[in-house]
Chain A
């Protein structure tokens, strides 16, 4: 029986693990893999204390810091499927049927890529449709590609593709890009990049691999607010989808309250609706999904868990 099980492998989980170990809380950390969502970022410039670091190096530093602690058990390659309550005990079950018992749980499972949900997306996944630009951009040398999504992840995908693709369309649903101004400026200067605003992707078409993307133009006429909803076709061999994330909260859906978006509802200490379960980071309903915030919120949750364990000894 553990005092605490931390579920996840991103910044929140790593920060929580370090603090839990230093408090000598009997802790197990279970992660499918280490790194979190920003592992695919080429260059992170806002991790405080570090002007520039790759997502991969940041992930390595989290894991190294965590493994430097003596008092923590770590399981990797395991996915926790459910967390349930049996009497006073919480039970975490893995996909493979392993069972762990604990007094408290901290959910730091983060988010996963949101899918577009259009025709052809699933069919051509890995056949021109890609979700990891830093991984797969080199395979699109000499090709024309589309990036869907004008947030930071979309802008970064464009940057990853610049050395390889001959032409990059950036499709944004609304009339303005959402990513950091610094990155916007950088991509706007490049003649290879063409930003298409008010573009809603309808379909991805191909034979064995992608060769076309269809979108509808939702630009409204300023005078009568009408839109022609004209359909356009782009000849592209790749579609990189970067439209945000969904919370990985399914494991607690039967024991803790979530918002309609699936985010776990927490209070200022990270407490969920179920006493004994805390959550922190991108999986929660707190606004602004950031590495720094996830780490800080997870630490606050662990300190609160420590108090709870002391009080309920």
Chain B
């Protein structure tokens, strides 16, 4: 299960979502600008107040790191 925490203006979030789409990876997007509970969950999980935060089956990836995502997703 992949969750990506985003803000609407975040370009690296867009890059990450594009990468998922291109590689047929399903993901759930949570907009932490509006969803304050999700924002808290993101901060608790990652210790980060910055987006994107990507949760890949419990592994937290901070920022858009294509190499790291490829490794975790084996693609």
Min CB gap B30→A, angstroms:
13
List residues of chain A with CB within 8 A of the CB of B13: 135
Whether A35 pairs with B11 at a CB distance below 8 angstroms is yes
Pick from A59, A136, A160: contact of B49, CB under 8 Å: A136
What residue of chain A has the Cβ atom nearest to residue B66's Cβ?
Answer: A77
Q: Bound complex: CA of A32 vs CA of B7, how far in Å? A: 23
Residue among A35, A42, A79, A132 facing the most chain B CB atoms (10 A cut-off):
A132
Q: Does A128 contact B (CB under 8 A)?
A: yes
1/0 contact string of A66-100 vs chain B (CB within 8 Å)? 00000000001111000000000000000110000
Tally of chain B residues near chain A (CB < 8 A): 25
A134 on interface, CB distance cutoff 8 Å: yes
Residue in B11, B51, B52 with the greatest tally of chain A CB atoms within 10 Å: B11
Partner pick for A95 among B7, B15, B39, B67, CB 8 A cutoff: B67
* 1/0 contact string of A142-183 vs chain B (CB within 8 Å): 000000000000000000100000000000000000000000
Contacts of A136 in B (CB 8 A): 7, 10, 49-51
Q: Are B33 and A138 in contact (CB under 8 A)?
A: yes
A197 at the interface (CB under 8 A from B): no
CA distance in complex: A46, B52 (Å): 28
Complex-state Cα separation, A63 to B32, whole angstroms? 28
Alpha-carbon distance between A33 and B70 when the two chains are bound, in angstroms: 13
**Contact (Cβ within 8 A) B11 A139:** no
Q: Which residues of chain A are near B69, meaning CB under 8 Å?
A: 77
Known contacts A35-B15, A55-B11, A139-B7; decide if A126 and B47 are in contact (CB<8 Å). yes
Given the known A-B contacts A33-B15, A79-B67, are A139 and B51 also in contact in the complex, defined by CB atoms under 8 Å? Answer: yes
Contacts of A32 in B (CB 8 A): 66-67
Chain A residues, CB < 8 A from B70: 77
Query: Nearest B residue to A54 by beta-carbon distance?
Result: B11
Determine whether the beta carbon of A138 is less than 8 Å from that of B7.
Answer: yes
Contacts A33-B66, A77-B66, A132-B50; A138 near B8 (Cβ below 8 A):
yes
Chain A residues contacting B10 (CB-CB under 8 Å) are 132, 134-136
Give the chain B neighbours of A126 by CB distance below 8 A. Answer: 46-50, 62
Residues of B within 8 A of A127 (CB): 47-49
Asked whether A130 lies within 8 Å of B50 as measured between CB atoms, the reply is yes
Instruction: List A contacts of B49 (CB < 8 A).
Output: 126-128, 130, 136, 139, 209
User: Which residues of B29-70 have CB atoms within 8 Å of chain A's CB atoms?
Assistant: 32-33, 39, 46-52, 62, 64, 66-67, 69-70
A56 interfacial by beta-carbon distance below 8 Å: yes
* B9 contacts partner chain A, Cβ-Cβ < 8 Å: yes
Contact between chains at B67 and A137 (CB < 8 Å): no
- Provide the bound-state CA to CA distance between A248 and B49, in Å: 26
| A204 interfacial by beta-carbon distance below 8 Å | no
CB of A39 within 8 Å of the partner chain: yes
What is the bound-complex CA distance between A141 and B49, given in angstroms?
12
Interface check A40, CB cutoff 8 A:
yes
Contact indicator A137/B9 (Cβ below 8 Å):
yes
- Closest residue of chain A to B42 (Cβ to Cβ) is A139
A56-B11 in contact given A126-B47, A126-B49, A127-B47 (Cβ < 8 Å): yes
CB-based closest 5 A-B pairs: A77-B66, A135-B10, A126-B48, A138-B7, A138-B33
Cross-chain pairs A/B with CB under 8 angstroms, 6 sampled: A35-B15, A39-B11, A39-B15, A40-B11, A136-B10, A136-B49
